[in-house]
Chains A and B, each alone.
Chain A
Amino acid sequence: MKRTFAQSLALYATVIFTLLMILFPVYWLVVTALSTTNELYRLPPTFWPTDPQWDIFARVWAAKPILMWLWNSMLAAVGSVALSMLVSVSAGYALSRYSMRGGATMGLFVLTAKMLPATLLVIPLFSIFSSFGLIGSLWTLVLAHSTMIIPFATWMLKGYFDTIPKELEQAAMVDGCSPIGAMVRVVLPIATPGLAATALYAFVLSWADYAYARTFLVNSPDNWTANLGITTMQGEYVTYWNDISAASVFIALPIIAIYLFLERYLVGGLTAGAEK
Chain B
Amino acid sequence: MANISIRNVSKSYGALNVLRPFSLEIENGEFVVLVGPSGCGKSTMLKILAGLEPATEGQIFIGDREVTDLAPGDRDIAMVFQNYALYPHLTVRQNIGFGLKMRGTDKTEIDRRVDDAARILEVTPYLDRKPKDLSGGQRQRVALGRAIVRQPQAFLMDEPLSNLDAKLRVHMRAEIGALHKRIGVTTVYVTHDQVEAMTMADRVVIMQGGLIQQIAAPDELFNNPANLFVAGFIGSPGMNFLNAELRDGQLTAFGQQISLPRATTHQGPVVVGLRPEHLTLGEGPVTFSVRPTLVESLGSEKYVYFEAEGARIADGEDSKSKGLIARVSHSGALPRNEEIRLGFDPAQLYLFNFKTGERL
Interface residues, chain A, with chain B CB atoms under 8 Å away: 165, 167-168, 170-178, 181, 186, 189-190, 270-276
Contact = CB atoms under 8 A, between A and B. Distances in A.
Interface stretch (B97-105, B237-245, B262-270, B319-327): B97-105
A92 B146 CA distance: 30
Those 3 A-B pairs whose CB atoms lie nearest each other, nearest first:
A273-B132, A273-B131, A176-B102
B78 interface: yes
Contact of A174 (B73, B136, B139, B163): B73
B134 A273 contact: yes
B88 A271 contact: yes
Given A171-B85, A171-B87, A177 B131 contact: no
Contacts of B130: 273
Contacts, number: 85
B99 A176 contact: yes
B52 interface: yes
Contact of A274 (B50, B77, B84, B163): B84
B132 A168 contact: no
Contacts of B73: 173-178
B87 A276 contact: no
A275 B83 contact: yes
Given A173-B52, A174-B72, A273 B133 contact: yes
6 contacts: A174-B99, A175-B98, A270-B89, A272-B132, A273-B130, A276-B84
B24 interface: no
Residue picked from A175, A189, A274, A275, most chain B C-beta under 10 Å: A175
B188 to A, nearest CB: 13
A275 B71 contact: no
B172 to A, nearest CB: 13
Contact of A175 (B89, B99, B131): B99
B61 interface: no
Interface of B: 47, 50-52, 71-73, 77-79, 81-89, 98-99, 102-103, 130-134, 136, 139, 146, 150, 163
B71 A173 contact: yes
A272 B98 contact: no
B278 to A, nearest CB: 39
A177 B52 CA distance: 12
A275 B87 CA distance: 9
Given A173-B72, A274-B131, A190 B89 contact: yes
A271 B88 CA distance: 6
Contacts of A270: 88-89
B186 to A, nearest CB: 15
A274 to B, nearest CB: 4
Nearest to A170: B52
B56 to A, nearest CB: 16
B102 A167 contact: no
Contacts of B79: 170-171, 174
Contacts of A276: 83-84, 136, 139, 163
A181 B71 CA distance: 13
B89 A178 contact: no
A272 B88 contact: yes
A270 B78 CA distance: 25
A113 B87 CA distance: 36
Given A176-B73, A190-B88, A171 B133 contact: no
Contacts of B85: 165, 167-168, 170-171, 274-275
A273 B72 CA distance: 24
Nearest to B152: A174
Contacts of B82: 167
A271 B146 CA distance: 18
A192 to B, nearest CB: 8
Contacts of A176: 73, 99, 102-103
Contact of B77 (A174, A181, A272, A273): A174
A175 B139 CA distance: 17
B87 A274 contact: yes
Given A271-B88, A273-B132, A175 B102 contact: yes
Contacts of B131: 273-274
